[in-house]
Structure 1
Amino acid sequence: MTVAVRYTCPYCSAVTSVERAPDLADRSVTKRKQPGWEYAEPGGDDLEDADGIAFVCGEDGVVTDLEGAETAGCGRPFYLNFVRFEQGVELEPEPPTYGGPRFDFNAGG
């Protein structure tokens, strides 16, 4: 069984969807890959073995704006990061996606 799950591009807010197993746990959507994590292609058969999905906005199927109207997307890569475990312990992404102060020196692009 699969479900359609929607993700928003962190650059342009275009929405893309992917069919995947419902038991995969999402952690975050980021502009950069997490160091050492392996990413699958959207719709690939290896999603359950990957640490996340690598998207290219507008190139991985139909994308829409937040209201549902079809749009082109910005063509930039972004990454869905799954919750990851190592020896039964949940791993934190680098940099952490929650808690404590965060600084984005690349704001706006």
Structure 2
Amino acid sequence: MTASPSITVRYTCPYCDAVHSIERGPDLADRSVTKHSQPGWEYATPEDDFETREAANGIAFICGEDGPVTDLAEEPIEGCGRPFYLNFVRFEQGVELEPDPPTYGGPRFDFSP
């Protein structure tokens, strides 16, 4: 069995700008990095194996606790210890799903309970 190809991708904590590096598949489908999880989405952790991370709806990070982090100049730093979330693009029956609530903000008019 051949291992899936991977690349190192860097994500910045939205609270303190600490940079987290993680191995990802080369066909990224990233939507956003947010301070809050999306309701109903299943998140992997950076410690999960490659296949588990790529099959999830995103990755939940704890800044500075999920491995070494750096500043933007790649110097080692501590991190702030706060959670943040990488959200992948999701599809259902071939249609791209919007986050709930949408990450772009604004009012909602669907009046769903």
Q: TM-score range by the shorter chain?
A: 0.7 to 0.9
If the length of structure 2 is used for normalisation, what is the TM-score?
Answer: 0.83
The structure number with the bigger radius of gyration is 2
Q: After TM superposition, what 4+ stretches of structure 1 lie above 4 angstroms from structure 2? A: none
How far the C-alpha of 1:61 sits from its partner, in A, is 1.0
- Root mean square deviation, CA, Å: 1.5
- What number of residue pairs does the alignment pair up? 101
Q: Retained in 2: the 8 A contact 1:31–1:78?
A: yes
Please give the secondary structure, in 2, of the residue aligned with 1:48: helix
Please give the secondary structure, in 2, of the residue aligned with 1:28: strand
Q: Retained in 2: the 8 A contact 1:19–1:43?
A: no
Answer yes or no: is 1:73 the counterpart of 2:89. no
If the length of structure 1 is used for normalisation, what is the TM-score?
Answer: 0.86
**Paired letter, 1:56:** I
**Paired letter, 1:62:** P
How far the C-alpha of 1:97 sits from its partner, in A, is 2.5
Select which of 21, 39, 58 maps to 1:35. Answer: 39
Q: Retained in 2: the 8 A contact 1:15–1:65?
A: yes
Unmatched 5+ stretches in structure 1: 103-109
* Cα shift readout 1:4-57 (whole Å, capped 9, x = no counterpart): 000000000100010111113100000111000000011422012200000000
Please give the secondary structure, in 2, of the residue aligned with 1:47: helix
Unmatched 5+ stretches in structure 2: 108-113
Deviates more, 1:76-85 or 1:61-70: 61-70
Partner of 1:18: 22
**Paired letter, 1:54:** A
Q: Identity, % of aligned pairs?
A: 72
